[in-house]
Structure 1
Amino acid sequence: MFPTKSILLAFLLLATGGVARAQVTLPQVQVPNLPGLPTEPLNRTVNDVLDQADPQRLRELRQVRIRHLLRTNRTVLEADPRGAPIVRSEVVALSPTPAALDRARAAGFGIGRTRTLEGLDVSIVVLQAPQGMSTRRALERLRREDPEGTYDYNHVYLESGVVPAAAAEETSVVASNGSPAVTARVGLIDGGVQRSHPVFNGVNVHEHGCTGGAVPSAHGTAVASLLVGQGDVFHGAAPGAELFAADVYCGLATGGALDSVAEAFAWMSREKVPVINISLVGPANVLLERIVRVVTARGHIVVAAVGNDGPSAPPLFPAAYPEVVAVTGVDAKQRVLVEACRGKHVDFSAPGANMSAAGIEAPFGVVRGTSFAAPLVAGLLARQLLAVGGKEQAEAAIADLAARATDLGARGVDKIYGNGLVGNDLRPPEQLSLAAH
């Protein structure tokens, strides 16, 4: 007998906590092979379960995952006072003065990784708390010693979407180079990309991060395909565009940490990538806010997913920063995803449910979440802003896209759909959606 929706949601909560031990990636939404409980029908019902979930419970999905992440990586991760994951015993400073570093050394702090963010004209210094001092006390001490400086936790940012397990059988749908390529450059800050996937044939992919080599992830590959993938039956928002992909996870338990995200932004700036997609979410962080402000002031557009903590959850970042283009997701009936965050920061809505995207274990899979709506908006903007210009040019591209959006919900800009729906014609064809199951 097939389980009820309440049981399915419980399994989904457990699965969301089932993160790989060594890599911060989104889990496969799949349950153990229990007698009488077929996993494939369960995978097919993920969208239905979420559509009818209690909005007040949706925030628990990410909280369960965070608790599991902290529990299984307690030697290197811990929670900040609000429960967000941070790298244990690390405080990050933005362009600290030599005098401030001397005071930190005198107080027993170790000077760890130093990242000169060429292209942004700032630097990031990771400070190690003295032995026996908590990370919270370490941050308080540094802020007290240098009140003019900028210090914060080394927060870890997580993906904002679900990549369900793909069907075991192979699909007959094969991507090729049939889609007309566009002349554009777009950036991706996420997990690694499986470059050998057919949808990336003919796509110029530049990779950054992971000294030991690329570490493809299901989430990064799916988002990248929705950005630049191309083929006869599948294409992203900017098919064939030049992709600059920064892997900030690299298979590490500390993947997605602020200092890696900051370095990714700097690389994009050096490479003069006009539009940068980041489908990651987490807490407010003063260093991330400053870096985003610097990047956008230079004429880059930053597009981010609003997150999937539910309509009553507080805003997630970087999407909630005013300089960022924040994207929510809608289903095939143009209804906002029940799990999508809401607020006055929402700028656009785009398809984010029953979306086919490139997979790792199978050619294609069906994905869901605001993570997969964001790249559609980023791709559309990249097709308009072909080079980094001034801030005015970036704002004009955003305004042009807003003018072409289909108004949904309350008339005009609202907290649910923003300026309205874009990219609805980018939904995959029914043939591919069925084959992906």
Structure 2
Amino acid sequence: MKKTLVAALFLAGLPAVSPGQVVRPPELPPPLVDTLKQPTGELLRQTEQLQQQLAEQRLREQLAALATLPDPLQLPAVQDILTLSGEPLWREVEVEQGFRAIEREWLLLLTADEWQALLQRWPELAGYLQRQQPLPALQLTLVTLKVPAALDSASALAQQFSAELLRYSGRNHLYQPQQQASTAAPQAAAQSKASMCDWPVSLGMVDTDINTELPALAVQSGHFNLVARRFLPEQLAASYAHGTAVASLLAARDPAITPLLPQLTLYSAAAFYASNAVQQSASLEHLLTALDWLASQPLQVINLSLTGPDNPVLALLIQQLQARGLSLVAAAGNGGPAATPLYPAAYPGVIAVTAVAPDMTPYRWANQGDYIDFAAVGVRVAALTANGQVQPQSGTSLAAPVVSAAVACWRAAQPQLTHQQVYQLLMQQARDLGEPGKDPVTGHGVIEPPLETEL
């Protein structure tokens, strides 16, 4: 009886339908699992978004913290260079176009008679005189002036004196080597499989000091002879990193390095000092005195693994060296493909060398332009550090010595050859990359050892 009553009550709650009409069952709630999936999926998406936001926030905080740290390659706008005892020697400052120079110092390169004529015309120049040095090899005089702030520009000097003065003068700019810091993977270093030539060769270079206490660079008669001179104040700490690396490519006797010139007499002019722990600099004044000394030595080729701004005084000295028949080989620079030309590589007649990797791909930081003459391997090259470790190093500074070695080999084998004749021989030996002909990336192509004497 109870079951019949319950059934009747249930049926009474249903809507009335006519016979034959299909009844739609009532809506049932979704399964519990589906109900749980919806909020769970949304929760996961929200969690992922929060994690992404948190990661981005942490990255911003880390980048902000890094931005406050000093970049070892970015020198301060004003920096005092000190002696070993902490006394100031000179002050580096940032000048036009982001280049650096010795504060308010200007150089004049001229004959002694021309300097006396300037003094007679403008006696007040004597009040700015800091130093006057003879350059005996080139029979010129180098004058260093310290001008007041009001005259510390080319336009101000021209207005105060004459535009004629600018023919002889330029800032005492700073120049830097073009080498990337060593990495810590010596097994990855590229090693040349051959020397450029095996006959006696003489070569000059302007660089840092060389650590000759290293066994691999010990002077050895018939293999490596070194004639070195330093053009920096004695009270200034010596810098060894860059010069040691370049010298090791040329002459080191180490199982990991094949010397480019196994019978080398190297004339090394040390003109670079340490601006900080990783950056070396050379003032134009010291470069000029170093180059004048090299011009007096029995050599025909000078390697310049350094770059800096165009300067009328440097341009004049380069012309004087070229007039004496010297071949100048310079690093093109590590400013990147869009960088402006750097000097002395971009001066006419100077052989500008860029760098490529062992697989012949261009060095990513190398300068490019119409002034590029040749390329050489200069990426992850096995070279000595100042403490004697062999580590891979990169830069157009490491490529320039390869071409310098080739030029020196030719000029030693056939001393009657002129600079232009040697240049033509290099063009014949160069391994052209890409489209035929000279291009702004690798110039006429890559120079590789050994020297091809049968051309």
Choose which of 270, 286, 297 in structure 2 pairs with 1:271: 297
2:370 aligns to what?
A: 344
**Of the two structures, which has the highest relative contact order with CA contacts closer than 8 Å and spacing of 6 or more?**
1
CA contact (8 A) 2:381 2:394 kept: yes
CA contact (8 A) 1:185 1:386 kept: yes
Task: Find the aligned partners of 1:84 and 1:332 in 2 and give their Cα distance.
Answer: 32
2:98 aligns to what?
A: 83
Task: Find the aligned partners of 2:99 and 2:414 in 1 and give their Cα distance.
Answer: 34
Choose which of 80, 105, 108 in structure 2 pairs with 1:93: 108
2:253 aligns to what?
A: 230
Task: Find the aligned partners of 1:197 and 1:394 in 2 and give their Cα distance.
Answer: 34
CA gap of 1:93–1:387, structure 2 versus 1, over 3 A, is farther
Task: Find the aligned partners of 1:117 and 1:315 in 2 and give their Cα distance.
Answer: 28
Mapping of residues 166-185 of structure 1, within 5 Å? 166=184, 182-185=199-202
CA contact (8 A) 1:347 1:419 kept: yes
Q: Any unmatched runs of 5+ in structure 1?
A: 1-6, 20-64, 171-177, 427-437
Mapping of residues 377-416 of structure 1, within 5 Å? 377-386=403-412, 393-416=418-441
CA contact (8 A) 1:109 1:130 kept: no
Per the TM alignment, residue 363 of structure 1 is displaced from its structure 2 partner at its CA by 2.0
CA gap of 1:299–1:107, structure 2 versus 1, over 3 A, is closer
CA contact (8 A) 1:86 1:156 kept: yes
Give CA-to-partner distance per residue, 1:368-425, whole Å, 9 cap, x none.
Answer: 01110001110111111129967x6222122112211111122111111111111266
RMSD: 3.5
CA contact (8 A) 2:183 2:393 kept: no
The residue type equivalent to 2:144 in the other structure is V
Is it true that 1:208 corresponds to 2:229 in the alignment? Answer: yes
Task: Find the aligned partners of 1:212 and 1:407 in 2 and give their Cα distance.
Answer: 46
The residue type equivalent to 2:246 in the other structure is V
Task: Find the aligned partners of 2:389 and 2:239 in 1 and give their Cα distance.
Answer: 14
Per the TM alignment, residue 234 of structure 1 is displaced from its structure 2 partner at its CA by 1.7
Per the TM alignment, residue 312 of structure 1 is displaced from its structure 2 partner at its CA by 1.0
Q: Any unmatched runs of 5+ in structure 2?
A: 1-60, 82-89, 188-194
Q: Which has the larger radius of gyration?
A: 2
CA contact (8 A) 2:119 2:126 kept: no
Choose which of 264, 267, 284 in structure 2 pairs with 1:241: 264
Task: Find the aligned partners of 1:11 and 1:225 in 2 and give their Cα distance.
Answer: 38
Choose which of 343, 348, 369 in structure 2 pairs with 1:322: 348
Per the TM alignment, residue 97 of structure 1 is displaced from its structure 2 partner at its CA by 2.4
CA contact (8 A) 1:329 1:336 kept: yes
Is it true that 1:18 corresponds to 2:44 in the alignment? Answer: no
Is it true that 1:301 corresponds to 2:301 in the alignment? Answer: no
Q: What TM-score do the two structures reach when normalised by structure 1?
A: 0.74
CA contact (8 A) 1:111 1:125 kept: yes
CA gap of 1:13–1:393, structure 2 versus 1, over 3 A, is farther
CA gap of 1:232–1:164, structure 2 versus 1, over 3 A, is closer
The residue type equivalent to 2:179 in the other structure is G
Indicate the percent of aligned positions where both proteins have the same amino acid: 28
Give CA-to-partner distance per residue, 1:60-86, whole Å, 9 cap, x none.
Answer: xxxxx2xx1534339612222222101
Give CA-to-partner distance per residue, 1:76-101, whole Å, 9 cap, x none.
Answer: 12222222101111110111420213
Deviates more, 1:202-211 or 1:230-239: 230-239
Q: Name the SS for the 2:418 alignment partner.
A: helix
Per the TM alignment, residue 250 of structure 1 is displaced from its structure 2 partner at its CA by 3.9
Q: What TM-score do the two structures reach when normalised by structure 2?
A: 0.72
